[in-house]
Amino acid sequence: MNALLYVTTVLIWGTTWIAIKLQLGDVPAPVSIAWRFWLAAAVLLLILVVTRKPVWPPRRAWRYLVAQGTALFCCNFLCFYYASAHVPSGLVAVVFSTAPVWNAINGRLFLGRPIRGMVMGGAALGLAGIGLLFLPQMAGHWNDGNMLAGLALALLGTLCFSAGNLLSSRMQALGLTPWLTNTWAMFIGAAILTLGALALGMPFRFEPTTQYVGSLLYLAIPGSVIGFTAYLLLVGRMGPDRAAYCTVLFPVVALTVSSVYEDYRWSAAAFAGLALVIAGNLLAFLPAKTKTPAAVGTASARS
């Protein structure tokens, strides 16, 4: 089940960039993101009703839901969208690929989870690999005056993503499933985006074109209903640090698709980067070493 959830998340989120590109146009980004999560939340609510699962969270969960909706389904997306306007997509991918590190650190600080050395080592290899994959896109942009602001936004978006991961892990520890929590957190995120867009005078429009509607449906249902639910289930089953290693594989899938549809050319550095990403994955998911009964007995005898 873990492998299925992991592969599902990577394949879906590694291809959502195509739909996001198709949505760029006359509709402001916050409005498009709001449409996405209004629709995704409605579908999730329908699933809960049809399957006769609880549809109303307990009172103790609402503070976590508001925080998750704000961090994961609002600020996270806004930060990365506006960061991409100033920073090459390769650098944005590198920053986002630090999510396993932040999840491990924040999990230690706020949840008391131990930091696994192999996960951190795998994240370091993966980050180096992503850097090599996107090296051509990074060249010539280091002296751009807007780079620092864009990188700061990308880092803030990654921290918001990490916060959403930990909040989901906390709610799952309370016995709440991502099917329920995602429904209401997405409603909350969509409401914040809608109110913010209206307050800023953004036109709350909708494009009734095949391209816009098709991309919206893909982002809302596979990208949000399936993708976020599969990922956050993985967070509950494996822990935020290991689950977040998906973020290192998203760019690999995206570049693979790009080589077919956008004529992306694989260089020697890109192949080396891919090898590092694969090595990092293997290292991050090696089972933790456990003491054998003999070793435990020896240690007890010495103490």
| pLDDT surpasses 90 at 192 | yes
**Over residues 264-276, mean pLDDT:** 81
Which pLDDT belongs to residue 301? 40
**Over residues 54-77, mean pLDDT:** 96
Question: Residue 133 is encoded by which pair of tokens?
Answer: 């994959």
Which pLDDT belongs to residue 290? 45
| pLDDT surpasses 90 at 152 | no
Nearest to 181 by CA among 162, 197, 166, 160: 166
CA torsion sign for 232, 234, 237, 240 is negative
- The whole-angstrom distance between residue 62's C-alpha and the CA centroid of its chain comes to 22
Q: What is the mean pLDDT of the chain?
A: 84
pTM score of the predicted model: 0.83
Which pLDDT belongs to residue 302? 40
Give the pLDDT confidence of 13-62 residue by residue, as tens digits: 888 877 887 887 789 989 999 999 999 999 999 999 999 999 999 999 99
**Over residues 161-168, mean pLDDT:** 93
Q: For residues 160 and 267, which has the higher predicted lDDT (pLDDT)?
A: 160
Q: How confident is the model at residue 223 (pLDDT cuts 50, 70, 90)?
A: very high
| pLDDT surpasses 60 at 292 | no
What is the total residue count of the chain?
303
47/52 Cα distance (integer angstroms): 8
**Over residues 189-201, mean pLDDT:** 96
Q: How confident is the model at residue 248 (pLDDT cuts 50, 70, 90)?
A: confident
